[in-house]
Amino acid sequence: MAVVKITLFFLILTFLAFPIGQYLAKVYDGKKTLVDPILKPIEKFFYKLCGIKEEQHMNWKEYSIAFLIFNGIGLLVLFLILLFQKMLPLNPQDMPNLSWHLALNTAISFVTNTNWQSYNGEQTMSYFSQMLGLGVQNFLSAAVGMAAGVVLIRGFRNRTSEDLGNFWVDTTRSLLYVLIPLSIIWSVVLVSQGVVQTFDQTRVIQTIEGTEQKIAVGPAASQVAIKQLGSNGGGFYNANSAHPLENPTPFSNFLEILAILLLPSAFPFMLGAMMKKQKQGAAIYIVMTILFFIGLRVSYYAESKGNPALSKEGIQQGQNLEGKETRIGIDESILWGNATTVTSNGSVNSMHDSTLPLTGMVYMFNMAIGEPIFGGVGVGLISMIFYIMFTMFLAGLMIGRTPEFLQKKLEPFEMTMAVIALILPTTLPLLFTAVAVSTEVGLASLNNAGSHGFSEIFYAFASGIGNNGSAFAGLNANVPFYNVLLSVIILAGRLLTILPAIAVAGSLAKKKLVPETAATFPTTSPLFVGMVVAVIFIVGALTFFPVFSLGPILEHLQLYKI
Protein backbone atom coordinates (compact mmCIF):
# COMPACT_ATOMS: atom_id res chain seq x y z
CA MET A 1 0.00 0.00 0.00
CA ALA A 2 2.89 2.37 0.68
CA VAL A 3 4.23 1.83 -2.84
CA VAL A 4 0.75 2.34 -4.32
CA LYS A 5 0.15 5.57 -2.38
CA ILE A 6 3.55 7.07 -3.17
CA THR A 7 3.29 6.11 -6.86
CA LEU A 8 -0.20 7.60 -7.09
CA PHE A 9 1.01 10.75 -5.37
CA PHE A 10 3.82 11.27 -7.90
CA LEU A 11 1.52 10.59 -10.84
CA ILE A 12 -0.83 13.32 -9.59
CA LEU A 13 2.10 15.65 -8.91
CA THR A 14 3.52 15.21 -12.43
CA PHE A 15 0.06 15.55 -13.98
CA LEU A 16 -0.33 18.96 -12.26
CA ALA A 17 3.29 20.16 -12.55
CA PHE A 18 3.40 20.19 -16.35
CA PRO A 19 0.40 22.51 -17.00
CA ILE A 20 1.37 24.74 -14.09
CA GLY A 21 4.85 25.06 -15.60
CA GLN A 22 3.30 26.14 -18.91
CA TYR A 23 1.14 28.65 -17.06
CA LEU A 24 4.12 30.07 -15.16
CA ALA A 25 5.99 30.61 -18.44
CA LYS A 26 3.07 32.63 -19.81
CA VAL A 27 2.81 34.68 -16.62
CA TYR A 28 6.48 35.73 -16.56
CA ASP A 29 6.58 36.38 -20.30
CA GLY A 30 3.51 38.61 -19.99
CA LYS A 31 1.44 36.44 -22.32
CA LYS A 32 -2.32 36.14 -22.10
CA THR A 33 -3.76 33.70 -19.56
CA LEU A 34 -7.30 32.66 -18.62
CA VAL A 35 -7.22 34.83 -15.48
CA ASP A 36 -6.14 38.02 -17.28
CA PRO A 37 -9.64 39.57 -17.39
CA ILE A 38 -9.72 39.50 -13.59
CA LEU A 39 -6.08 40.02 -12.61
CA LYS A 40 -4.63 42.22 -15.35
CA PRO A 41 -6.54 45.37 -14.23
CA ILE A 42 -5.38 44.75 -10.66
CA GLU A 43 -1.80 44.35 -11.85
CA LYS A 44 -1.95 47.59 -13.88
CA PHE A 45 -3.50 49.47 -10.95
CA PHE A 46 -0.76 48.26 -8.63
CA TYR A 47 1.96 49.41 -11.04
CA LYS A 48 0.35 52.82 -11.33
CA LEU A 49 -0.03 53.11 -7.55
CA CYS A 50 3.61 52.21 -6.88
CA GLY A 51 5.13 54.02 -9.87
CA ILE A 52 6.41 50.80 -11.46
CA LYS A 53 7.14 50.96 -15.18
CA GLU A 54 6.34 47.54 -16.58
CA GLU A 55 8.34 48.04 -19.75
CA GLN A 56 11.49 49.23 -17.93
CA HIS A 57 13.91 46.30 -17.80
CA MET A 58 16.95 45.90 -15.57
CA ASN A 59 20.46 44.56 -16.04
CA TRP A 60 21.85 42.12 -13.48
CA LYS A 61 23.30 44.80 -11.21
CA GLU A 62 20.04 46.78 -11.09
CA TYR A 63 18.10 43.57 -10.46
CA SER A 64 20.46 42.62 -7.61
CA ILE A 65 20.16 46.06 -6.00
CA ALA A 66 16.36 45.92 -6.15
CA PHE A 67 16.45 42.45 -4.58
CA LEU A 68 18.69 43.65 -1.73
CA ILE A 69 16.67 46.81 -1.05
CA PHE A 70 13.36 44.95 -1.02
CA ASN A 71 14.62 42.27 1.36
CA GLY A 72 16.42 44.80 3.55
CA ILE A 73 13.23 46.81 4.10
CA GLY A 74 11.23 43.65 4.77
CA LEU A 75 13.81 42.50 7.30
CA LEU A 76 13.74 45.80 9.19
CA VAL A 77 9.93 45.99 9.29
CA LEU A 78 9.52 42.41 10.52
CA PHE A 79 12.28 42.85 13.12
CA LEU A 80 10.48 45.90 14.56
CA ILE A 81 7.09 44.14 14.57
CA LEU A 82 8.51 41.27 16.61
CA LEU A 83 10.52 43.52 18.89
CA PHE A 84 7.42 45.59 19.80
CA GLN A 85 4.55 43.13 19.29
CA LYS A 86 3.14 43.70 22.81
CA MET A 87 2.25 47.28 21.82
CA LEU A 88 0.58 46.30 18.54
CA PRO A 89 -3.07 45.30 17.93
CA LEU A 90 -4.50 41.78 17.42
CA ASN A 91 -2.84 40.47 20.56
CA PRO A 92 -5.71 39.07 22.68
CA GLN A 93 -3.34 36.76 24.57
CA ASP A 94 -1.12 39.74 25.48
CA MET A 95 2.01 38.12 24.05
CA PRO A 96 5.23 39.84 25.22
CA ASN A 97 7.90 41.36 22.98
CA LEU A 98 10.55 39.03 21.62
CA SER A 99 14.17 39.29 22.76
CA TRP A 100 16.47 41.08 20.32
CA HIS A 101 18.30 37.91 19.27
CA LEU A 102 15.09 35.91 18.75
CA ALA A 103 13.49 38.80 16.85
CA LEU A 104 16.59 39.09 14.64
CA ASN A 105 16.76 35.35 14.01
CA THR A 106 13.04 35.11 13.20
CA ALA A 107 13.05 38.16 10.93
CA ILE A 108 16.03 36.92 8.91
CA SER A 109 14.54 33.44 8.83
CA PHE A 110 11.18 34.48 7.37
CA VAL A 111 12.56 37.09 4.95
CA THR A 112 14.90 34.46 3.49
CA ASN A 113 12.11 31.87 3.05
CA THR A 114 13.66 29.70 5.78
CA ASN A 115 11.12 29.90 8.62
CA TRP A 116 13.45 28.46 11.22
CA GLN A 117 11.58 28.79 14.52
CA SER A 118 13.43 28.91 17.83
CA TYR A 119 10.14 29.38 19.68
CA ASN A 120 6.72 27.87 20.35
CA GLY A 121 4.42 29.57 17.82
CA GLU A 122 1.13 29.52 19.73
CA GLN A 123 2.83 30.73 22.93
CA THR A 124 5.10 33.41 21.45
CA MET A 125 3.46 35.17 18.49
CA SER A 126 0.44 37.46 18.49
CA TYR A 127 -2.10 37.29 15.67
CA PHE A 128 -0.65 40.54 14.32
CA SER A 129 2.86 39.07 14.20
CA GLN A 130 1.60 35.81 12.68
CA MET A 131 -0.45 37.49 9.94
CA LEU A 132 1.07 40.88 9.08
CA GLY A 133 4.60 39.88 10.02
CA LEU A 134 5.30 36.22 9.31
CA GLY A 135 2.38 35.59 6.95
CA VAL A 136 3.25 38.52 4.70
CA GLN A 137 6.87 37.39 4.44
CA ASN A 138 5.69 33.90 3.55
CA PHE A 139 4.28 35.44 0.38
CA LEU A 140 7.04 37.94 -0.31
CA SER A 141 10.02 35.63 0.26
CA ALA A 142 8.48 32.98 -2.00
CA ALA A 143 7.78 35.56 -4.70
CA VAL A 144 11.40 36.78 -4.60
CA GLY A 145 12.72 33.22 -4.98
CA MET A 146 10.45 32.63 -7.96
CA ALA A 147 11.64 35.85 -9.59
CA ALA A 148 15.28 34.81 -9.15
CA GLY A 149 14.63 31.48 -10.87
CA VAL A 150 13.00 33.25 -13.82
CA VAL A 151 15.95 35.61 -14.20
CA LEU A 152 18.43 32.74 -14.60
CA ILE A 153 16.26 31.21 -17.33
CA ARG A 154 16.16 34.55 -19.14
CA GLY A 155 19.94 34.69 -18.99
CA PHE A 156 20.14 31.47 -21.01
CA ARG A 157 17.36 32.55 -23.36
CA ASN A 158 18.50 36.10 -24.16
CA ARG A 159 20.73 36.83 -27.14
CA THR A 160 23.27 39.65 -26.69
CA SER A 161 20.95 41.58 -24.39
CA GLU A 162 21.49 42.73 -20.81
CA ASP A 163 17.75 43.03 -20.12
CA LEU A 164 16.71 40.51 -17.48
CA GLY A 165 13.21 41.80 -16.85
CA ASN A 166 12.00 43.91 -13.94
CA PHE A 167 12.32 42.75 -10.34
CA TRP A 168 9.16 44.55 -9.24
CA VAL A 169 7.13 43.15 -12.13
CA ASP A 170 8.37 39.59 -11.62
CA THR A 171 7.68 39.72 -7.89
CA THR A 172 4.22 41.22 -8.42
CA ARG A 173 3.27 38.56 -10.95
CA SER A 174 4.52 35.81 -8.64
CA LEU A 175 2.18 37.08 -5.96
CA LEU A 176 -0.84 38.08 -8.01
CA TYR A 177 -1.02 35.29 -10.57
CA VAL A 178 0.39 32.36 -8.60
CA LEU A 179 0.79 32.51 -4.84
CA ILE A 180 -2.33 34.41 -3.80
CA PRO A 181 -4.84 32.48 -5.98
CA LEU A 182 -3.38 29.09 -5.03
CA SER A 183 -3.28 30.04 -1.35
CA ILE A 184 -6.94 31.08 -1.39
CA ILE A 185 -7.92 27.74 -2.94
CA TRP A 186 -5.77 25.73 -0.53
CA SER A 187 -6.98 27.74 2.50
CA VAL A 188 -10.64 27.15 1.72
CA VAL A 189 -10.15 23.42 1.19
CA LEU A 190 -8.07 23.13 4.39
CA VAL A 191 -10.77 24.92 6.39
CA SER A 192 -13.28 22.42 4.99
CA GLN A 193 -11.08 19.66 6.47
CA GLY A 194 -11.08 21.26 9.91
CA VAL A 195 -7.93 23.39 9.92
CA VAL A 196 -8.69 26.21 12.32
CA GLN A 197 -9.16 29.79 11.06
CA THR A 198 -10.40 32.27 13.65
CA PHE A 199 -9.53 35.39 15.65
CA ASP A 200 -10.93 33.94 18.88
CA GLN A 201 -8.87 33.71 22.02
CA THR A 202 -7.40 30.48 23.36
CA ARG A 203 -10.17 28.02 24.23
CA VAL A 204 -10.40 26.53 27.72
CA ILE A 205 -12.15 23.14 27.82
CA GLN A 206 -12.93 20.45 30.35
CA THR A 207 -11.19 17.13 29.73
CA ILE A 208 -12.79 13.76 30.47
CA GLU A 209 -10.61 13.61 33.59
CA GLY A 210 -12.32 16.78 34.81
CA THR A 211 -9.31 19.08 34.44
CA GLU A 212 -8.96 22.24 32.34
CA GLN A 213 -6.98 22.28 29.10
CA LYS A 214 -6.06 25.32 27.04
CA ILE A 215 -6.28 24.90 23.25
CA ALA A 216 -4.68 27.63 21.17
CA VAL A 217 -6.63 28.69 18.08
CA GLY A 218 -6.11 31.41 15.50
CA PRO A 219 -5.80 32.18 11.78
CA ALA A 220 -3.92 28.96 10.98
CA ALA A 221 -5.39 27.76 7.65
CA SER A 222 -4.33 30.86 5.73
CA GLN A 223 -0.76 30.52 7.00
CA VAL A 224 -0.63 26.75 6.43
CA ALA A 225 -1.59 27.20 2.76
CA ILE A 226 1.16 29.68 1.90
CA LYS A 227 3.75 28.04 4.14
CA GLN A 228 3.46 24.88 2.02
CA LEU A 229 2.93 26.42 -1.42
CA GLY A 230 5.73 28.95 -0.95
CA SER A 231 8.31 26.50 0.46
CA ASN A 232 8.23 28.38 3.76
CA GLY A 233 7.28 25.75 6.32
CA GLY A 234 6.89 27.78 9.51
CA GLY A 235 4.09 26.31 11.58
CA PHE A 236 1.32 28.21 13.32
CA TYR A 237 1.65 25.57 16.04
CA ASN A 238 4.87 24.34 17.58
CA ALA A 239 4.02 20.77 16.53
CA ASN A 240 3.63 22.09 12.97
CA SER A 241 1.61 19.80 10.71
CA ALA A 242 1.61 17.02 13.28
CA HIS A 243 -0.93 19.16 15.16
CA PRO A 244 -4.54 18.02 14.58
CA LEU A 245 -5.77 21.61 14.17
CA GLU A 246 -3.15 22.25 11.46
CA ASN A 247 -3.40 18.89 9.70
CA PRO A 248 -6.54 17.05 10.83
CA THR A 249 -7.39 14.49 8.11
CA PRO A 250 -5.75 12.15 5.58
CA PHE A 251 -6.92 14.45 2.79
CA SER A 252 -5.40 17.56 4.43
CA ASN A 253 -2.16 15.60 4.83
CA PHE A 254 -2.20 14.72 1.13
CA LEU A 255 -2.96 18.33 0.13
CA GLU A 256 -0.15 19.73 2.25
CA ILE A 257 2.49 17.32 0.88
CA LEU A 258 1.25 18.09 -2.64
CA ALA A 259 1.53 21.82 -1.95
CA ILE A 260 5.13 21.41 -0.75
CA LEU A 261 6.27 19.94 -4.08
CA LEU A 262 3.81 21.53 -6.51
CA LEU A 263 5.55 24.75 -7.56
CA PRO A 264 9.16 23.46 -7.26
CA SER A 265 8.26 20.54 -9.54
CA ALA A 266 6.62 22.93 -12.04
CA PHE A 267 9.74 25.07 -12.47
CA PRO A 268 11.67 22.59 -14.68
CA PHE A 269 8.67 22.47 -17.00
CA MET A 270 8.53 26.28 -16.93
CA LEU A 271 12.16 26.30 -18.07
CA GLY A 272 11.25 23.94 -20.92
CA ALA A 273 8.38 26.19 -21.98
CA MET A 274 10.36 29.46 -21.79
CA MET A 275 13.34 27.96 -23.65
CA LYS A 276 11.07 26.05 -26.06
CA LYS A 277 12.95 22.90 -25.05
CA GLN A 278 10.39 20.69 -23.35
CA LYS A 279 12.72 17.69 -23.31
CA GLN A 280 15.25 19.71 -21.32
CA GLY A 281 12.67 20.54 -18.69
CA ALA A 282 11.60 16.90 -18.54
CA ALA A 283 15.23 15.74 -18.16
CA ILE A 284 15.77 18.06 -15.19
CA TYR A 285 12.52 16.87 -13.63
CA ILE A 286 13.65 13.24 -14.05
CA VAL A 287 16.99 14.01 -12.34
CA MET A 288 15.15 15.54 -9.39
CA THR A 289 12.70 12.62 -9.19
CA ILE A 290 15.45 9.97 -9.27
CA LEU A 291 17.34 11.68 -6.45
CA PHE A 292 14.13 12.05 -4.46
CA PHE A 293 13.24 8.36 -4.77
CA ILE A 294 16.73 7.24 -3.77
CA GLY A 295 16.46 9.17 -0.50
CA LEU A 296 12.87 8.03 -0.02
CA ARG A 297 13.87 4.38 -0.45
CA VAL A 298 16.73 4.58 2.05
CA SER A 299 14.66 6.35 4.71
CA TYR A 300 11.65 4.05 4.26
CA TYR A 301 13.92 1.00 4.57
CA ALA A 302 15.37 2.34 7.83
CA GLU A 303 12.04 3.28 9.43
CA SER A 304 10.23 0.09 8.37
CA LYS A 305 12.86 -2.10 10.07
CA GLY A 306 12.33 -0.34 13.37
CA ASN A 307 14.65 0.48 16.24
CA PRO A 308 16.65 -2.65 17.23
CA ALA A 309 17.27 -1.34 20.75
CA LEU A 310 13.52 -1.03 21.41
CA SER A 311 12.75 -4.29 19.62
CA LYS A 312 15.08 -6.25 21.93
CA GLU A 313 13.25 -4.87 24.95
CA GLY A 314 9.87 -5.75 23.45
CA ILE A 315 8.86 -2.07 23.48
CA GLN A 316 8.58 -1.75 19.71
CA GLN A 317 7.92 -4.38 17.10
CA GLY A 318 8.27 -3.73 13.38
CA GLN A 319 8.15 -0.15 12.15
CA ASN A 320 9.71 2.78 14.00
CA LEU A 321 6.65 4.73 15.15
CA GLU A 322 8.50 6.87 17.69
CA GLY A 323 7.83 10.54 17.01
CA LYS A 324 5.17 9.82 14.38
CA GLU A 325 1.43 10.33 14.44
CA THR A 326 -0.17 6.88 14.34
CA ARG A 327 -3.05 8.40 12.33
CA ILE A 328 -0.50 9.33 9.63
CA GLY A 329 1.78 6.31 9.76
CA ILE A 330 5.25 5.48 8.46
CA ASP A 331 4.81 5.91 4.72
CA GLU A 332 3.26 9.39 4.74
CA SER A 333 5.63 10.56 7.49
CA ILE A 334 8.64 9.51 5.40
CA LEU A 335 7.14 10.96 2.21
CA TRP A 336 6.62 14.26 4.03
CA GLY A 337 10.07 14.17 5.64
CA ASN A 338 11.78 13.75 2.28
CA ALA A 339 9.53 16.29 0.55
CA THR A 340 10.15 18.93 3.21
CA THR A 341 13.96 18.48 3.24
CA VAL A 342 14.52 18.31 -0.51
CA THR A 343 12.62 21.60 -0.75
CA SER A 344 13.36 24.61 1.46
CA ASN A 345 10.07 23.96 3.23
CA GLY A 346 10.95 22.64 6.67
CA SER A 347 7.42 21.85 7.85
CA VAL A 348 6.96 18.48 9.57
CA ASN A 349 4.21 15.97 10.36
CA SER A 350 6.55 13.84 12.49
CA MET A 351 9.53 14.39 14.79
CA HIS A 352 12.74 14.21 12.73
CA ASP A 353 14.74 13.83 15.94
CA SER A 354 13.03 10.45 16.46
CA THR A 355 13.93 9.02 13.06
CA LEU A 356 16.58 6.34 12.82
CA PRO A 357 20.14 7.44 11.96
CA LEU A 358 20.06 6.58 8.24
CA THR A 359 16.82 8.53 7.79
CA GLY A 360 18.30 11.52 9.58
CA MET A 361 21.36 11.29 7.33
CA VAL A 362 19.15 11.40 4.22
CA TYR A 363 17.40 14.51 5.54
CA MET A 364 20.73 16.21 6.32
CA PHE A 365 22.11 15.33 2.87
CA ASN A 366 19.00 16.74 1.17
CA MET A 367 19.48 20.11 2.85
CA ALA A 368 23.26 20.42 3.02
CA ILE A 369 23.85 19.97 -0.74
CA GLY A 370 21.85 23.13 -1.45
CA GLU A 371 18.49 21.47 -2.08
CA PRO A 372 18.71 20.97 -5.86
CA ILE A 373 16.17 18.13 -5.61
CA PHE A 374 13.09 20.27 -6.37
CA GLY A 375 14.28 22.81 -3.79
CA GLY A 376 12.54 26.02 -2.82
CA VAL A 377 10.29 27.77 -5.33
CA GLY A 378 12.66 29.16 -7.97
CA VAL A 379 15.78 28.72 -5.87
CA GLY A 380 15.73 24.92 -6.22
CA LEU A 381 15.98 25.22 -9.99
CA ILE A 382 18.90 27.65 -9.55
CA SER A 383 20.77 25.12 -7.42
CA MET A 384 20.10 22.33 -9.92
CA ILE A 385 21.33 24.47 -12.83
CA PHE A 386 24.56 25.20 -10.94
CA TYR A 387 25.09 21.46 -10.49
CA ILE A 388 24.37 20.97 -14.20
CA MET A 389 26.94 23.64 -15.06
CA PHE A 390 29.48 21.84 -12.87
CA THR A 391 28.61 18.55 -14.59
CA MET A 392 29.05 20.11 -18.03
CA PHE A 393 32.41 21.51 -16.92
CA LEU A 394 33.58 18.01 -15.95
CA ALA A 395 32.25 16.61 -19.23
CA GLY A 396 34.10 19.35 -21.12
CA LEU A 397 37.35 18.45 -19.36
CA MET A 398 37.01 14.83 -20.45
CA ILE A 399 36.56 15.66 -24.13
CA GLY A 400 38.72 18.79 -24.26
CA ARG A 401 35.85 21.16 -25.09
CA THR A 402 34.52 24.39 -23.55
CA PRO A 403 31.41 23.45 -21.54
CA GLU A 404 28.02 24.50 -22.88
CA PHE A 405 24.47 24.36 -21.62
CA LEU A 406 21.33 25.48 -23.41
CA GLN A 407 23.51 26.73 -26.29
CA LYS A 408 25.52 29.12 -24.09
CA LYS A 409 29.24 28.70 -23.44
CA LEU A 410 30.13 28.44 -19.76
CA GLU A 411 33.30 30.45 -19.32
CA PRO A 412 35.41 31.35 -16.24
CA PHE A 413 33.03 33.96 -14.81
CA GLU A 414 30.01 31.64 -14.90
CA MET A 415 31.95 28.73 -13.45
CA THR A 416 33.40 30.92 -10.69
CA MET A 417 29.90 32.01 -9.67
CA ALA A 418 28.67 28.42 -9.79
CA VAL A 419 31.53 27.24 -7.57
CA ILE A 420 30.84 30.07 -5.10
CA ALA A 421 27.17 29.07 -4.97
CA LEU A 422 27.97 25.36 -4.54
CA ILE A 423 31.13 25.22 -2.43
CA LEU A 424 30.84 28.10 0.05
CA PRO A 425 27.37 27.10 1.31
CA THR A 426 28.52 23.50 1.85
CA THR A 427 31.55 24.53 3.90
CA LEU A 428 29.71 26.89 6.26
CA PRO A 429 27.70 24.16 8.10
CA LEU A 430 30.93 22.26 8.67
CA LEU A 431 32.68 25.35 10.03
CA PHE A 432 29.80 26.41 12.28
CA THR A 433 29.32 22.85 13.59
CA ALA A 434 33.02 22.74 14.49
CA VAL A 435 32.65 26.00 16.43
CA ALA A 436 29.54 24.77 18.25
CA VAL A 437 30.98 21.41 19.35
CA SER A 438 34.23 23.07 20.44
CA THR A 439 32.66 25.56 22.87
CA GLU A 440 30.82 25.18 26.16
CA VAL A 441 28.04 27.52 25.08
CA GLY A 442 27.47 25.45 21.95
CA LEU A 443 27.25 22.17 23.85
CA ALA A 444 25.13 23.60 26.67
CA SER A 445 21.98 23.56 24.50
CA LEU A 446 22.15 19.82 23.76
CA ASN A 447 19.66 17.35 25.24
CA ASN A 448 21.60 14.37 23.87
CA ALA A 449 25.28 13.54 24.08
CA GLY A 450 27.45 11.57 21.68
CA SER A 451 26.83 11.03 17.98
CA HIS A 452 23.14 11.94 18.14
CA GLY A 453 23.91 15.26 19.81
CA PHE A 454 26.50 15.93 17.11
CA SER A 455 23.84 15.20 14.48
CA GLU A 456 21.45 17.64 16.16
CA ILE A 457 23.97 20.47 15.86
CA PHE A 458 24.94 19.69 12.26
CA TYR A 459 21.28 19.29 11.28
CA ALA A 460 20.54 22.81 12.56
CA PHE A 461 23.27 24.41 10.46
CA ALA A 462 22.47 22.26 7.41
CA SER A 463 18.87 23.40 7.75
CA GLY A 464 20.01 27.01 7.96
CA ILE A 465 22.28 26.95 4.91
CA GLY A 466 19.57 25.20 2.87
CA ASN A 467 17.01 27.82 3.97
CA ASN A 468 14.95 24.87 5.16
CA GLY A 469 13.97 25.60 8.74
CA SER A 470 13.27 22.09 10.06
CA ALA A 471 15.09 20.90 13.17
CA PHE A 472 16.03 17.75 15.05
CA ALA A 473 14.47 19.49 18.05
CA GLY A 474 16.85 17.98 20.60
CA LEU A 475 18.78 21.25 20.44
CA ASN A 476 17.64 24.33 22.37
CA ALA A 477 18.41 26.98 19.78
CA ASN A 478 16.65 29.88 21.51
CA VAL A 479 19.83 31.25 23.07
CA PRO A 480 21.95 34.17 21.79
CA PHE A 481 24.75 31.86 20.54
CA TYR A 482 22.56 29.79 18.23
CA ASN A 483 20.17 32.60 17.28
CA VAL A 484 23.08 34.72 16.04
CA LEU A 485 25.04 31.92 14.32
CA LEU A 486 21.92 30.59 12.63
CA SER A 487 20.99 34.11 11.51
CA VAL A 488 24.37 34.43 9.79
CA ILE A 489 24.22 31.04 8.05
CA ILE A 490 20.57 31.48 7.00
CA LEU A 491 21.34 34.85 5.41
CA ALA A 492 24.45 33.43 3.72
CA GLY A 493 22.45 30.51 2.31
CA ARG A 494 20.01 32.89 0.64
CA LEU A 495 22.47 35.47 -0.69
CA LEU A 496 25.08 32.95 -1.86
CA THR A 497 22.46 31.28 -4.05
CA ILE A 498 20.43 34.15 -5.50
CA LEU A 499 23.12 36.80 -6.08
CA PRO A 500 25.48 34.48 -8.04
CA ALA A 501 22.47 33.32 -10.08
CA ILE A 502 21.57 36.89 -11.06
CA ALA A 503 25.23 37.58 -11.92
CA VAL A 504 25.42 34.45 -14.09
CA ALA A 505 22.19 35.46 -15.80
CA GLY A 506 23.65 38.87 -16.62
CA SER A 507 26.80 37.35 -18.07
CA LEU A 508 24.98 34.72 -20.13
CA ALA A 509 22.41 37.18 -21.44
CA LYS A 510 25.11 39.09 -23.36
CA LYS A 511 26.34 35.99 -25.17
CA LYS A 512 25.28 34.65 -28.54
CA LEU A 513 23.69 31.25 -28.90
CA VAL A 514 26.13 28.53 -29.91
CA PRO A 515 24.79 26.37 -32.77
CA GLU A 516 24.35 22.72 -31.86
CA THR A 517 26.67 20.35 -33.75
CA ALA A 518 27.55 16.66 -33.72
CA ALA A 519 30.12 17.44 -31.01
CA THR A 520 27.52 19.07 -28.70
CA PHE A 521 26.92 17.03 -25.56
CA PRO A 522 23.20 16.08 -25.48
CA THR A 523 21.63 17.38 -22.28
CA THR A 524 18.37 15.49 -22.57
CA SER A 525 19.83 11.97 -22.83
CA PRO A 526 19.92 9.22 -20.18
CA LEU A 527 23.70 9.73 -20.01
CA PHE A 528 23.19 13.38 -19.02
CA VAL A 529 20.62 12.41 -16.39
CA GLY A 530 22.97 9.78 -14.95
CA MET A 531 25.95 12.15 -14.90
CA VAL A 532 24.07 14.89 -13.04
CA VAL A 533 22.75 12.40 -10.47
CA ALA A 534 26.27 11.02 -9.98
CA VAL A 535 27.90 14.45 -9.64
CA ILE A 536 25.40 15.56 -6.98
CA PHE A 537 26.00 12.37 -5.00
CA ILE A 538 29.78 12.52 -5.37
CA VAL A 539 30.02 16.20 -4.37
CA GLY A 540 27.76 15.56 -1.38
CA ALA A 541 29.60 12.40 -0.34
CA LEU A 542 33.07 13.94 -0.60
CA THR A 543 31.98 16.99 1.36
CA PHE A 544 29.92 15.43 4.13
CA PHE A 545 31.20 11.86 4.62
CA PRO A 546 33.45 12.87 7.56
CA VAL A 547 30.64 14.65 9.39
CA PHE A 548 28.18 11.84 8.65
CA SER A 549 30.75 9.37 10.00
CA LEU A 550 30.83 11.23 13.31
CA GLY A 551 27.05 11.57 13.46
CA PRO A 552 24.42 9.32 11.85
CA ILE A 553 26.74 6.58 10.55
CA LEU A 554 28.41 6.14 13.95
CA GLU A 555 25.01 6.19 15.66
CA HIS A 556 23.74 3.55 13.22
CA LEU A 557 26.73 1.29 13.94
CA GLN A 558 26.28 1.76 17.68
CA LEU A 559 22.56 1.05 17.44
CA TYR A 560 23.13 -2.23 15.65
CA LYS A 561 26.37 -2.86 17.60
CA ILE A 562 28.31 -3.52 14.40
Asked, for residue 136, whether it belongs to a domain, the answer is yes
> In the predicted model, is pLDDT for residue 495 greater than 90?
yes
Tell me which residue range forms the domain holding 39.
2-176+255-277
- Residue 421: partners with Cβ closer than 8 Å, 6 or more residues away: 370, 382, 383, 386, 496, 497, 500, 501
- Tell me what the mean pLDDT of segment 429-450 comes to: 92
Q: What is the pLDDT of residue 93?
A: 82
- Regarding beta strands 212-215 and 404-405, do their DSSP bridges make them parallel or antiparallel, or are they unpaired? unpaired
Q: What is the pLDDT of residue 229?
A: 94
pLDDT digits (tens, 9 = 90+) for 16-36: 999 999 999 999 999 999 999
Asked, for residue 167, whether it belongs to a domain, the answer is yes
- Tell me what the mean pLDDT of segment 476-487 comes to: 93
> In the predicted model, is pLDDT for residue 457 greater than 70?
yes
pTM (two decimals): 0.93
Asked, for residue 90, whether it belongs to a domain, the answer is yes
pLDDT digits (tens, 9 = 90+) for 233-278: 877 788 889 999 999 999 999 999 999 999 999 999 999 999 999 9
Report the chain's mean pLDDT, rounded to a whole number.
Answer: 91
Asked, for residue 43, whether it belongs to a domain, the answer is yes
Asked, for residue 516, whether it belongs to a domain, the answer is no
Asked, for residue 20, whether it belongs to a domain, the answer is yes
| Positive or negative torsion for Cα 22, 28, 32, 33 | positive
Closest by CA to 468, choosing from 454, 486, 449, is: 486
Q: What is the pLDDT of residue 467?
A: 93
3-state helix vs strand vs coil in the chain, percent to 5: 65, 5, 30
Out of 262-276, 292-306, 363-377, 515-529, least confident range: 515-529
Domain count, the chain: 1
Asked, for residue 81, whether it belongs to a domain, the answer is yes
Q: What is the pLDDT of residue 28?
A: 95
Burial call 315-324: b when 16+ CB within 10 Å, e when fewer: ebeebbbbeb
Asked, for residue 130, whether it belongs to a domain, the answer is yes
> In the predicted model, is pLDDT for residue 349 greater than 80?
yes
- Residue 279: partners with Cβ closer than 8 Å, 6 or more residues away: 272, 524
Q: What amino acid is encoded at 39 in this protein?
A: L
> In the predicted model, is pLDDT for residue 516 greater than 90?
no
pLDDT band at 44 (very low <50, low <70, confident <90, very high): very high
Start-to-end C-alpha separation, the chain: 32
With a pLDDT cut of 70, the percent of the chain lying above it is 99
pLDDT band at 395 (very low <50, low <70, confident <90, very high): confident
